Amino acid sequence: MKYRSVTVKGLNIFYREAGDPGLPHFLLLHGFPSASHMYRELMGMLEHKFHVIAPDLIGFGQTDSPPRSDFEYSFENLSRYVEGFIEELGLERFFLYVFDYGAPIGFRVAMHHPEKILGIVSQNGNVYEEGLGKKWEVRAQYWQAPTAQLREQYKAAFSFDTVKGQYTFGTEEGSVAPDGYCLDLYYAQTIEDYAEKQSDLIFDYQSNVRLYPEFQRYLREHQPKLLAIWGQNDPSFIFAGAQAFKRDLPQAKVVGVNSGHFALESSCREIASQILDFFKD
């Protein structure tokens, strides 16, 4: 494993890299509230077949986190920097692994550059309304009638109990190490103005839901090879979101694993095996 950084539009983006650069590229996009460290085990399991690259998004992990006065914390803007990252690294064609926040970012990239996409793994990376769990009903009310009080209330998403719960809910007891969520919490406490930046993204998530029909049109028109592999006990993005891919991609493979939202924490070997089998040709 190598740990590198590259400058994109004046900002430093940290990334992890494994595997021979001559192998097919595989770009891994993380979710909230995590960073590229969520792929620390998966990369080692894929590097003999792929050149694996996992960046930290702007405002996450070891990547720059500019002030809100200088940077718009929106999914569209994060996507532009991912596209800049792809250009800087010279990735002409690649496989894409998307999870959580990484899904609306990755699908924006795929829509803008369909010729670059060799295939997609969507792991609890939702692009269908059927996949939105109960909490999103309340979020939708917030988007329609935002108040300072509700914005403050949603900062509970950065608390210890909430972050730990995202990792452990729906998993077998003792199957999730504390490493991942403790590192996420460290970043939440040390990145300047973290809560406000992440609150901007929580509010902007509505832009992703509005784009779901466009993401689905991309799937129908381009028919990328897609593996939807889901921690099927995830209360945030429920398993129906994985099954919905079959509507637009009849040849998609849909797999449920006995885990929750951060399925890699307890089912990494199973997920890696599915990826290697699905993209072996």
pLDDT tens profile 137-189 = 989 999 999 999 999 998 988 999 999 999 999 999 999 999 999 999 999 99
CA–CA distance, 58 with 12 (Å, rounded to integer)? 9
Phi, psi of 199 (to 5 degrees): -65, -35
- Superfamily (CATH) of domain 2-278: Alpha/Beta hydrolase fold, catalytic domain (3.40.50.1820)
pLDDT tens profile 61-103 = 999 999 999 999 999 999 999 999 999 999 999 999 999 999 9
Residues with a catalytic annotation lie at 261
CA–CA distance, 231 with 228 (Å, rounded to integer)? 10
CB 271, CB 264: distance < 8 Å: yes
Domain limits, the chain: 2-278
This model's pTM is above 0.75: yes
Cis peptide before 178 (omega within 30 of 0): no
- At residue 272 the predicted structure's pLDDT band, cuts being 50, 70 and 90, is very high
